[in-house]
Structure 1
Amino acid sequence: MHLICFGINHTTAPIALREQFSFDDKALPAALTSLHQQADINEVVIISTCNRTELYCHVDEDYDNGISTWLQQYRSGLYEAVKDSHYQYHDTDAVQHLYRVASGLDSMVLGEPQILGQLKTAYTQSLNAQTLGKSLGRLFQHAFTVAKQVRTDTAIGSSPVSVAFAAVSLSKQIFSNLKQATALLIGAGETIELVARHLQDNGIKRMIIANRSVERAHNLAADVNGYAISLGEMPAHLAEADIVISSTASQLPILGKGMVESALKQRKRRPIFMVDIAVPRDIEPEVGQLEDIYLYCVDDLHDIIEENLQSRRDAARQAEEIIDSQVSHFAGWMRSQDAVPVIRAIRDEAQQHSASVLDKALKQVQQGVPAEQAMAELARTLTNKLLHEPSRQLRLSAFQNDDENLLIMAARQLFNIKD
């Protein structure tokens, strides 16, 4: 099969090393071309993300460590740096690894879907750099199909495991109908953005985004149809909130017990559900002692996340079965490619014989030989030419072998000859 995967990822190398062995969009075309120019490497795809860099190559049968040689030449000292942290898979092991990567089974977050888009980008970049051929092209296309099947046939992606999703899940348990609820989100970073999008997907009635930088709050609010305020304006809006979810980088609490008590009075004791995702905490722990306040911190979300992770682990076992089956399917296709040159040679020879006897038959007809006689001669001559060498080899094999004759058995299978 002659496939190789050489790489490092988040489980084998620290971020400092992964940064060295990465290729951004500007560097990638040159890297693809350079590796492709190695004498024993025919096709190349390079995947480079924050969590992994992997080189997929289709190589010659006499491949002799061309990837290591290239690394030593392309980036001085890089091979020495990664030689104790890298992994290398060959043939069906390389196929299986790619399918696991595409399906999210090798990701930092089990089952995450982003890696599939990154693989498709890597495929396109290799296509543009003209380093993609029939073997890797078919392999990656099949990997995309396998990943789609895994997501369709298992629950690998149906149980989100982010802190943001867990916070919204808790909100739905407290407020069965989010369409009547108002949420105050404190912060405007990635986690709060995910929270906002989950709330929006669940039909939240209204969102208020509070952030130290009002401009960032406005940008997020515009995306999720929310309303932006500064942190200083929170006391005036806290009473409007049924749900408060906070995730900032503040070193000191942002919501104190006094501010929350004032909001509760304005709400006439209507409860507020609060989730503090921040570390250090944004909401004073004493707030949780107030009646009508349901306060959860990031540790409280662990059970929800662990439950969903277990669901993904169960789905991952199903996914592995799908992948094993599909690896066998691709291996069969690769083996079939070994027969292509033989099939082509047989067809070429048959076409030469056909052209030769047809030319002879046409000349006979032109010379006055009856067409029926010329056609019969054509059929007889072509049959003899096509079967002469196979017949000779079978007789020779039978003469030389006393035991069960594999060539004769193969001929029976090849021509579907029944006993």
Structure 2
Amino acid sequence: MTIWALGINHKTAPVAVRERVAFDPAGMPLVLQRLQELDSVSEVVVLSTCNRTEIYCTGDDRGPSLVADWLVHNREIGSADLDASLYALEESDAVAHTMRVASGLDSLVLGEPQILGQMKSAFAVAQEAGTVGSELGRLFRQTFSIAKRVRTDTAIGQNPVSVAFAAVRMAQHIFADMKNSRALLIGAGETIELVARHLQQAGVRHMTLANRTLARAQHLAQEFHAEAVLLEDIPLALPDADIVISSTASPLPILGKGMVEKALKKRRHKPMFMVDIAVPRDIEEEVGELSDVYLYTVDDLRDIIEENVRSREDAARQAEELISAGVDHFMRELRALDAVNTLTDIRQHVDTLREDQLEKALKQLQNGTDPEKVLRTFAHTFSNKVLHKPMTALRRAGSEGRLEVLDWSRELFDLDNRSE
């Protein structure tokens, strides 16, 4: 059984491609079940964020191609686009990649902490769906342990830098005085909470939080002294917004070109700054064509983010060393478990042969056969049964020139130290 990690991310695909393979959290249990039903796939966990969709699974060599075919047939993406963006890693490479992702080393923002929580959530969903077994369970527990060490033993998390931080920093470049700016935040998840925190620290006093569930928006709004509204109230709130930052899990756009045009007319075409952090996108691409709108996506935040990456590079090198040690430890454990399974199978095989011969010997004793003869027959037959297949395999290895098999056999039976 092989461990695989395959998917696409911000390094291999633009947002227009990533949003086609993004999964709605509400439908994730069904996605996991469908993937597990594929031939050659045993266990599976799916991580879907604004920057990546990754599938971690165990299976045989056909697993990645079957998963790729499934994505083509079940998502709105052609095989050519997927092939150009998809990566597939196995065994130690897959383990290292999983640990790097959880530690924030593969993120758009180096060392960003949100990904660890997202990965833990993805693992929990897969556990609840029943698609996690012993192998992925062991991998993710080790991964979370390494990610925790990276956070505590290195400076990777210092000087917080995130997509939320970058979005606010970009707004600061455009608005000289943030205190006079009004912000409309769409969504009420962890990213929007971070955006609200950064906006508050930047001096923004007037914020409106729009969410599908009013109670969640109100809970978040209380912390930031903001107004809470439902998504359907956005057309009323939009004309007052100088800054619009959106991050929801909606499968369809929330802000269309027509809605924004109406808002601009009410604003008398006062410019509006918009950042769409969501994947799939919350704001229609055509909104960016409007002359008074400055629309940015997560991919546009790279320059701001990269300015803050250099301070974390030393910490990243230390983190890579921790991850390398973690991969070595995990792979040793995996090989040790393989050895245990093999030893168990050998023991069961020999025990079965012994019991068969012992049963025959006991019947001979019950029938009055000479005990010495019974014991000698038992010992001779049992030895032949145990050694027959190994000796046949050794003869074949010798005739084929595979001398390493003979060397291993001498080591296994300690034949070179018989005189000691």
Per the normalisation by structure 1, the TM-score is 0.60
Residue 123 and residue 413 in structure 1: after superposition, are their counterparts in 2 closer, same or farther (change >3 A)? Answer: farther
- What is the aligned partner in structure 1 of residue 124 from structure 2? 124
The letter of the residue matching 1:313 is E
- What is the aligned partner in structure 2 of residue 44 from structure 1? 44
For residues 364 and 185 of structure 1, what CA distance do their matches in structure 2 show?
101
- What is the aligned partner in structure 1 of residue 18 from structure 2? 18
- What is the aligned partner in structure 2 of residue 349 from structure 1? 349
Contact 1:364 1:374 in 2 (8 A): no
The letter of the residue matching 1:86 is L
- What is the aligned partner in structure 1 of residue 102 from structure 2? 102
**Which of the residues 197, 209, 212 maps onto 1:194?**
197
Using the TM superposition, give the Cα deviation of residue 17 of structure 1 relative to its aligned residue in structure 2, in angstroms. Answer: 2.5
State percent identity of aligned pairs: 39
1:133-144 matches, within 5 Å, as 133-144=133-144
For residues 229 and 359 of structure 1, what CA distance do their matches in structure 2 show?
82
1:12-411 matches, within 5 Å, as 12-63=12-63, 65-161=65-161, 190=193, 193-195=196-198, 210-211=205-206, 222-223=222-223, 250=242, 309-335=309-335, 342-359=342-359, 380=379, 384=383, 388-389=387-388, 392-393=391-392, 396=395, 400=399, 405-411=403-409
For residues 366 and 128 of structure 1, what CA distance do their matches in structure 2 show?
57
The letter of the residue matching 2:197 is L
Using the TM superposition, give the Cα deviation of residue 150 of structure 1 relative to its aligned residue in structure 2, in angstroms. Answer: 1.9
Contact 2:17 2:77 in 1 (8 A): no
- What is the aligned partner in structure 1 of residue 412 from structure 2? 414
- The superposition leaves residues 228-263 of structure 1 with CA deviations (integer Å, 9 ceiling, x where unpaired) of 599xxxxxxxxxxxxxxxxx9648xxxxxxxxxxxx
- The superposition leaves residues 347-375 of structure 1 with CA deviations (integer Å, 9 ceiling, x where unpaired) of 2221112323443565577678999x799
Contact 2:182 2:242 in 1 (8 A): no
The alignment of Structure 1 onto Structure 2 pairs a total of residues equal to: 322
The letter of the residue matching 1:410 is W
Contact 1:160 1:308 in 2 (8 A): no
Using the TM superposition, give the Cα deviation of residue 393 of structure 1 relative to its aligned residue in structure 2, in angstroms. Answer: 4.7
Report the 3-state secondary structure (helix = DSSP H, G, I; strand = E; otherwise coil) of the residue aligned with 2:19: helix
Residue 87 and residue 384 in structure 1: after superposition, are their counterparts in 2 closer, same or farther (change >3 A)? Answer: closer
Q: What is the root-mean-square deviation in Å for CA atoms of aligned residues?
A: 4.7
For residues 67 and 208 of structure 2, what CA distance do their matches in structure 1 show?
48
The letter of the residue matching 1:408 is L
Unaligned runs of 5+ in 1: 167-183, 200-207, 231-247, 252-278, 281-303
The letter of the residue matching 1:161 is V
- What is the aligned partner in structure 2 of residue 290 from structure 1? none
Contact 1:209 1:229 in 2 (8 A): no
Report the 3-state secondary structure (helix = DSSP H, G, I; strand = E; otherwise coil) of the residue aligned with 1:106: coil
Per the normalisation by structure 2, the TM-score is 0.60
Using the TM superposition, give the Cα deviation of residue 52 of structure 1 relative to its aligned residue in structure 2, in angstroms. Answer: 0.9
Find the structure with the greater CA-based Rg: 1
For residues 57 and 149 of structure 2, what CA distance do their matches in structure 1 show?
25
Residue 78 and residue 31 in structure 1: after superposition, are their counterparts in 2 closer, same or farther (change >3 A)? Answer: farther
Residue 84 and residue 32 in structure 1: after superposition, are their counterparts in 2 closer, same or farther (change >3 A)? Answer: same
Using the TM superposition, give the Cα deviation of residue 29 of structure 1 relative to its aligned residue in structure 2, in angstroms. Answer: 2.0
More relative contact order in 1 or in 2 (CA 8 Å, sep 6+)?
A: 2
- The superposition leaves residues 113-160 of structure 1 with CA deviations (integer Å, 9 ceiling, x where unpaired) of 211111122112222323223333322222222212222332212332
Contact 1:42 1:57 in 2 (8 A): yes
For residues 150 and 8 of structure 1, what CA distance do their matches in structure 2 show?
24
Report the 3-state secondary structure (helix = DSSP H, G, I; strand = E; otherwise coil) of the residue aligned with 1:46: strand
For residues 120 and 5 of structure 2, what CA distance do their matches in structure 1 show?
17
Using the TM superposition, give the Cα deviation of residue 104 of structure 1 relative to its aligned residue in structure 2, in angstroms. Answer: 0.5
